Structure 1
Amino acid sequence: MALIDEVTAETAVAILLAARDLLSDESKWTRGALARDSKGDEVDCMSPDASYWSAFGAVLVASAADPEDGVLDWDADATVMALERLERNAASLLRVDYGPRRRGFVVEFNDRPATKFQDVMSLFEGAINERQRD
């Protein structure tokens, strides 16, 4: 694997770890929106009023913040890789075929009524621990 790919993969894992940490307990997780404020109203996931995030919203927040200074700093390749890992794992948990033209499994998995907080944590663990694909 090329050095740049290794760096991107490491950054993708760092994004997934940060997103999982953002959802550190069930009280910070939501469904049906990327994010909600403390009153439960839907807000932009980057809003300072956001208090609860979906799995997808947490990845967007984690991918945009530099952990050292908190400044918005988007790494598109690593964000795509992190989301692809989540998509593959969500498709597997939903027992549907994953393909390059099929997307939305993370949102579908997060928002379905049967999904529990621990299921979302398992989704992140699977994506974090996924072996790098060639």
Structure 2
Amino acid sequence: MDFLAGLSRPNIHIFHFSSVPLCKIRKAILSIKSNATGCDNISRRMIIPILDQLLPIMSHIINASLSTGIFPSLWRRPIAIPLPKIPNPSLAKHFHPISILPFLSKVLEACAHKQLSEHVHRNNLLCPLQSGFRPGHSTITTLLK
């Protein structure tokens, strides 16, 4: 135990989700381009025309989920669709699955991702050589480092 007590601890701020304002939920909804319907049969195409009426309700659900840490179970249920890898598939190995999640699940994920990304960036938690999935970084920026 004495060994562990002597180790320096990084100065990392503890992360907590904060309430997401309506404007950021709207932005998350509008940024999702897929019109696929998940197991709840709700698509982006259905939400957009009545977005102003639904936004307060969606805000309540999203913020309750982030504050309690409870992700609605229906939103975790994907629809798996096999897509062919080759023109005339005849065996199971000739397919690869994609999972379609409910639209509202994608909205919650986008809101959570935004806050987590900001926390990681603000607290400099990624290795400087990490380039994958980072805006403004590529294999070229990795090679130049």
Query: Which TM-score applies when normalising by structure 2?
Result: 0.22
Q: Looking at CA atoms only, which structure, 1 or 2, has the larger radius of gyration?
A: 2
Query: Which TM-score applies when normalising by structure 1?
Result: 0.23
